Amino acid sequence: MKILVTGANGYIGTGVVKALLQLKQDVIATDFIVDGIDTRSKTIAGDIFGLEKPFEYFEEPDVVLHLAWRNGFVHNSDTHLEDLPNHYKFLSKMAESGVKKIVALGSMHEIGFWEGRIREDTPCNPMSLYGISKNALREALELVCKQKNTMFQWIRGYYIVGNSEKGASIFSKITAAEKEGKTEFPFTTGRNQYDFIDYDEFCKQIANVIINNEVLGIINCCSGIPESLASRVERFIKDNNYKIKLNYGAFPDRPYDSLAVWGDNSKIQKILEQNEGK
């Protein structure tokens, strides 16, 4: 398939492009800057929101994987709501022009406060501008894709560990602090349990979602296993031979984070099994 990847030079995009190329897919990768993208793909630098006919501009791809999103680690940035109409317009133009499938990256933050396993049909009550915007885009795209008979997959991401040189996750911040020579890192209580997944596995899961047209709708890309934040961060520090220590309790836990939340990974496991059998 010919797959257009937006936000291809971002934290997740660079890894997903590599994973798709490993699966022998034809990748067109676009972002504002493209110098960090695997050169085996065709790269196109520019602003996707300014295009009148994006389907034609990007050589009529079979699939668009929409990863483009700014300030994803700043959950209450106004840019989430400001950019929402542009994301919708771009993807609706792709659907109207005849793209066969739209795949977009969502987030477990669409759910809001929740205790326990998150299923695809778990009710959404987002508690941040990031979660509100992602949830609104998902609902709008479901309608558009249904009207245009376009296949639709919504990848719900959780907590990613790895590629810590990029991004702004807690793992990236710890890596930066270690390189700056800091001996302590301000931390929460670390008691909350989340669904952590290694970066390479997450990118592999996304790539496998894209090449599978049998399992559609919301798909949790995750490990399916809860682990405490303290345990996972301490393990990250040990695995990377960092000397930095955590200063527990320096920051309060976020009010919209539950004590334990993780994803139901049954659909992604089904996809991986189906793909391996082909």
CA–CA gap between residue 244 and residue 105 (Å, rounded): 33
Which two three-digit tokens encode residue 80?
């989430």
What DSSP assignment string belongs to 15-54?
A: HHHHHHHHTT-EEEEEES--TTS-TTSEEEES-GGG-S-H
Catalytic member of 11, 130, 194, 199: 130
List the beta bridge partners of residue 185.
246
* 3-state secondary structure at position 57: helix
Select from 176, 178, 225 the least CA-distant residue to 198.
225
C-alpha distances in Å from residue 40, one per residue of 17, 19, 204, 271: 9, 12, 17, 26
> Distance from first CA to last CA of the chain, Å, rounded?
16
Does an H or E element contain 160, and which? strand 159-161
197: left (phi over 0), alpha (psi -120 to 50) or beta: beta
Contacts of 125 (CB under 8 A, 6+ apart): 111, 112, 113
**8 A C-beta contact, residue 210 and residue 103:** yes
Q: How many CA atoms lie within 13 A of 256 on its CB side?
A: 15
Catalytic status, residue 194: no
Residues that are catalytic: 130
